[in-house]
């Protein structure tokens, strides 16, 4: 049965030009021809021009569709041409900016139809300096369309609009985990268990889907909202594909503080699960201590620390169970690093019985660094980036970036 929308207004945009619009009063038995004829004078379109009418998904509307039109959904009038994807942005109402960076900006929008709040990331084409940058953008779109997990941010839509690409993303109002840690950290071990369990679940799903993130860091983990600690992993721009038993795609981009020794030394930049395990170990350490394990004000010293696995000593209040876990994740040889399955099982056992001693492995008696660490500088969790190495061996920045959070402005200097 047709819906009744007496006195409702239908908004018509000119196809491909969201600056021009008109409004038509909906009435019973309204036809496509009448909508077009009433719109033409507003858009200064000649009466002999054969126009077409589209809905917000690009579907062409005929007379049988008119009685079921939702007045809250804008329509698009073309002068005979096909639907322009630029027009898709019109179904979203802009609310406020969320942040800005070298790649473009992120804004909070509300879907005019569903009322759902979304974060739209605008990546300007002129900010993409190389073919690799462009590939990263489209790689992220393709990956996120296939990844569906409660701890991975959802890509709702992606489309070009003028000189930019629009990512319509799930909005995470809780902000970055980095900011949460600055405000509340170091975190107690029970809370760290909750957060790390979610990270493990998300990454297990990715690895089972043959996807390696390759840029896991606090800035790329968001809180779904400010009332809970549900996590959402974002920014798959430099993710790589691998197959079991074989190395995957190669890339020299990423964040220096979270990059493993084989990447920093230049020995191996291919996608493998061990890459993400190392980054996760850095994250777990930082959640527990409030500082990054390899932080140093000098980038060369950071590189040296990573290559030599010279992380800062654990403070006394970190339990042996966590020390052992992180020690297993931060091993120089990627083949000897703990697997994701082992990491998950260790965390589960810890949660079940924090005081239980796990004696299944011979390395239990390995020496564990255990001296006090000063916690007076939470700025140490900042994240220098790494990208393609120059001839001098210095990493230069080259990042597209991701942001769907509200708590911190987006920056291309992460």
Point out the residues that are catalytic.
215
DSSP structure string for 83-135? PPGGGGGGGEEEEEEEEEETTEEEEEEEETTT--EEEEEEEEGGG--SHHHHH
Q: Is 160 helix (H, G, I), strand (E, B) or coil?
A: strand
Cβ–Cβ under 8 Å, residues 346 and 212: no
Please state the separation of Cα 36 from the chain's center in Å: 41
- Omega within 30 of 0 (cis) for the link into 216: no
| 339: its two tokens | 């697997």
Radius of gyration of the chain (CA): 26
CA atoms within 13 A on the CB side of 367: 3
CA distances in angstroms from 105 to 169, 177, 268, listed in the order given = 13, 20, 33
Please state the separation of Cα 175 from the chain's center in Å: 12
CA atoms of 24 and 8, how far apart (whole Å): 9
């Amino acid at each position: 049965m047709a819906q009744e929308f007496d006195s409702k207004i239908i908004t018509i945009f000119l196809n491909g030009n969201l600056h021009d619009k008109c409004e038509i009063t909906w009435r019973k038995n309204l036809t496509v021809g009448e909508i077009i004829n009433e719109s033409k004078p507003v858009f200064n379109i000649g009466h002999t021009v054969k126009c077409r009418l589209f809905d917000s998904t690009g579907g062409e509307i005929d007379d049988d569709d008119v009685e079921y039109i939702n007045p809250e959904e804008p329509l698009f009038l073309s002068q005979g041409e096909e639907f322009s994807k630029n027009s898709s942005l019109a179904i979203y109402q802009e609310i406020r900016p969320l942040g800005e960076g070298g790649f473009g900006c992120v804004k909070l929008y509300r879907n005019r139809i569903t009322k759902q709040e979304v974060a739209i990331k605008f990546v300007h084409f002129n900010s993409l300096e190389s073919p690799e940058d462009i590939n990263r953008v489209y790689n992220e779109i393709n990956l996120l369309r296939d990844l569906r997990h409660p701890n991975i941010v959802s890509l709702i839509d992606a489309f070009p609009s003028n000189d930019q690409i629009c990512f319509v993303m799930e909005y995470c109002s809780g902000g970055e985990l980095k900011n949460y840690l600055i405000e509340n950290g170091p975190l107690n071990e029970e809370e760290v268990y909750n957060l790390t369990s979610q990270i493990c679940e998300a990454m297990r799903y990715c690895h089972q889907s043959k996807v390696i993130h390759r840029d896991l860091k606090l800035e790329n983990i968001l809180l779904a909202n400010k009332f809970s600690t549900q996590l959402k992993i974002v920014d798959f721009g430099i993710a790589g594909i691998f197959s079991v038993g074989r190395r995957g795609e190669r890339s020299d981009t990423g964040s220096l503080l979270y990059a493993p020794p084989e990447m920093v030394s230049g020995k191996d930049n291919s996608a493998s699960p061990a890459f993400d395990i190392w980054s996760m170990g850095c994250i777990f350490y930082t959640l527990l201590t409030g500082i990054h394990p390899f932080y140093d004000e000098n980038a060369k010293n950071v590189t040296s620390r990573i290559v030599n696995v010279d992380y800062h000593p654990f403070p006394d209040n970190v339990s042996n169970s966590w020390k052992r876990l992180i020690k297993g994740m931060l091993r120089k040889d990627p083949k000897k690093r703990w697997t994701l399955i082992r990491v998950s099982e260790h965390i589960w056992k810890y949660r079940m019985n924090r005081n239980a001693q796990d004696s299944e492995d011979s390395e239990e008696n390995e020496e564990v660094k255990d001296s006090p660490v000063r916690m007076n500088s939470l700025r140490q969790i900042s994240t220098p980036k790494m990208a393609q190495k120059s001839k001098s061996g210095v990493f230069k920045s080259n990042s597209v970036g991701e942001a769907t959070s509200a708590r911190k402005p987006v920056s291309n200097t992460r």
